[in-house]
Chain A
Amino acid sequence: MLIKLITRAWQRKSGPSTKSSAAAQSPAATQSSGAAGPSAAARGLLALLAHEVSYDIRASVRNPRARFFTFIFPVVLLVIFTGVFGHGTTIIDGQRVQLSRFYVPGILTLSIVVAAYSNLVVSITTLRETGVLKRRRATPAPPALLIAGQAIATLATVTVMGVILLVLGKVAYGVGIAPAALAALACTAAVGTLAFACVGYAVSGVIGSPESAQPVVQATTLPLWFLSGVFIPTHNLSGALHTIGTLFPVEHLAASLQLAAIHGSFASAISPTDLLVLAAWGVAALAFATWRFSWLPSAATA
């Protein structure tokens, strides 16, 4: 059902995103659709959720910063890393594999963290400090819906990015993934996305201004790309550096996505321990976010 919602949201999105041409010929059409039928809220909670998700996706797709960091940046990194190092080999889970097989799940990890954590931190902080969250909270829409909408929009974004990276990996670099492993990868990606979204909510709660959101995001993610087996295989790291990496959730997401790239069966392509660690981060962050989350701009709370 989640999938259905996401696809519906994407279908809706594809309509209005061709805005400049639509604006020229369709005011009458949109007008009549606006007047027809009951509102999303009147059609029930699910319709309301789909409504929220479709507009959240529209907003994020039209945000140039999010568009670059979420969709273009990971593809560029994958091309560069496999181009430069792709023919070397490394060891994952005891198996010697080509580095291209390491970089596809590695960059997928980065893409998930950027879409779920980095984007949410920046956008939640901005929405809160510019009064948008407060205005939305004044409407009858349930507060949980507004948050769930963003989480689902993020899942949709990650799904699209995952497909792009996996197709690129297969077509350009011959990195195929077995169907059973693909299912494991999808599970891991979903858990990872939700966990990082929770961490994003928690972190946005302690950032006071939109200007400081971007530096905080960079400072918290950049070192982890190197320590967590995203840019450099953990096999090549010293024991101490790898241990530091494992203290943070990025390493656990990368490690379990890499399992899916080298194994063929569901059971061997999934890592329950890593999923548990990710889930624990998610739950702890959610508890913190619930305590710390505010709809009002922080200037007003002082």
Chain B
Amino acid sequence: MTAKTSARSVASMLTNSLDAAVAQCVAASPPQDQHDLVIAVHGLRKRYGGHEAVRGIDLEVRRGEIFAFLGPNGAGKTTTVEILQGFRRASAGTVEVLGADPWHASSAWRERIGTVLQESEPEPGLSVRECLQLYAGYYHAPRQVQETLALVELAEQADERASALSGGQRRRLDLALALIGDPELIFLDEPTTGFDPSARRAAWGLIAELRALGKTVFLTTHYMEEAERLADRIAIIAAGEIVAQGTPQTLGDRQLSSTQIAFALPRGTELAQLPAALAERASTLGEGRVALASTRVAADLHVLSGWALQHDAELHALEVRRPTLEDVYLQLTDNDRS
């Protein structure tokens, strides 16, 4: 999309939608208002038979923010989202979304929520425009169909059969269907899974536009890069528990502040044979590689190389680097799994 058309579509939207304009004013004010919580979850648990998929999580999402819920497959993301949407009932804990318990929520509550599911086919037999007209009919004050099509850049495909759209276009139709009711809160469940890089970038542009519309966005993803790029705040879930929470800047502060020293253990040596000061901080990376977090890089390297010389060993594949957010994410979710 060109910047010009997106700017125009956003502008026309705002003039046409009073709600969006008001919402944007709210979003533009500093996020000091701690009480304006769109989602408040405390001690949420969900059990399926003997398996506990979600094990006591707390979440808070404020109005107007993009909140990324990050975790590997099977970590409990979709279960949590389905509870927030009212599709499943929590086993324990309190859940409040837009001031109501989703499991008992009314039709009026659903007017205020938009949903993009992880996997869903378009309506069979209908054209793109008809899909939107069908869904527009479900809401009391829907957005205009044509304008919504323009927002997701499907205006040219309006009269095509929805099932004939490409994968990326279907995803945009899903987004249009979620937006047609002009919701305050939008759930996006892994919106870019399976996208090629350019389609992903285009989708990110669209999600960023939702922020401009003043929408609150709850985004699940398993791409750290996506969360980092889009989100105001991120929570990482692994094996049903929140393992980190914060802004992209503060997330994993502790891990990021230390440098990683990685190397291959010399053949025939064990981790325990390293100098005690290093061994206690080291962890194995697999394939005989070892990593240790260091805040005093020169001193640690000195000890390490001294040890290697003493044992007449070579430190193959020695690497000294600052971890990325992606490393932090993998470390957090991996530790928890083992």
A residues with a Cβ closer than 8 A to B are: 16, 19, 23, 27, 30-31, 34-35, 38-42, 48, 51-52, 55, 58-63, 123, 126-127, 130-132, 134-142, 295-297, 300
Contact = CB atoms under 8 A, between A and B. Distances in A.
B87 A139 contact: no
8 contacts: A39-B138, A42-B140, A48-B137, A59-B126, A127-B124, A131-B119, A138-B117, A141-B138
B123 interface: yes
A123 B124 CA distance: 10
Interface in B71-92: 78, 82, 85, 87
B141 A140 contact: no
B108 A132 contact: no
Interface string B111-127: 10101010111111111
B259 interface: no
Contacts of B126: 55, 58-59, 62
Contacts of B120: 130-132, 134-135
Interface in B127-164: 127, 129-130, 133-142, 144-146, 158-159
A31 B121 CA distance: 24
B141 A39 contact: yes
A41 B123 CA distance: 19
Nearest to B86: A138
B146 A35 contact: yes
B289 interface: no
B107 interface: yes
Nearest to A41: B140
Nearest to A35: B144
**Interface bracket on B:** 35 or more
A168 to B, nearest CB: 26
A59 B145 CA distance: 19
B110 interface: yes
The 9 A-B residue pairs with the shortest CB-CB distance, nearest first, are: A131-B120, A40-B137, A62-B125, A59-B125, A130-B121, A23-B159, A138-B115, A140-B110, A141-B138
A18 to B, nearest CB: 12
B252 interface: no
A27 B125 contact: no
Contacts of A59: 123-126
A135 B176 CA distance: 12
A34 B133 contact: yes
Is chain A's binding surface mostly helix, strand, loop or mixed? helix
B110 A295 contact: no
A281 to B, nearest CB: 28
B144 A55 contact: no
Contacts of A126: 124
Nearest to B160: A23
Nearest to A135: B120
Contacts of A63: 124-125
A23 B164 CA distance: 16
B115 A30 contact: no
B146 to A, nearest CB: 5
B181 interface: yes
A295 B137 contact: no
B117 A58 contact: no
B177 interface: yes
A16 to B, nearest CB: 7
A59 B163 CA distance: 12
Interface in B41-96: 78, 82, 85, 87
B138 A140 contact: yes
A55 B134 contact: yes
Given A131-B121, A139-B181, A19 B127 contact: yes
B153 to A, nearest CB: 16
Max count, chain A CB within 10 A of own CB: residue among B85, B111, B134: B134
A295 B87 contact: yes
Contacts of A300: 78, 82
Given A39-B140, A59-B123, 18 more contacts: A34-B136, A35-B145, A48-B137, A58-B125, A58-B130, A61-B125, A130-B121, A131-B117, A132-B120, A132-B124, A135-B117, A138-B87, A138-B110, A139-B110, A139-B181, A142-B107, A295-B87, A300-B78
Contacts of B141: 39, 42
A61 to B, nearest CB: 8
Nearest to A24: B159
Contacts of A138: 85, 87, 110, 113, 115, 117
Contacts of A127: 124
Contact of B87 (A48, A137, A141): A137
Max count, chain B CB within 10 A of own CB: residue among A19, A34, A123: A34
A245 to B, nearest CB: 34
Contact of A31 (B117, B136, B146): B146
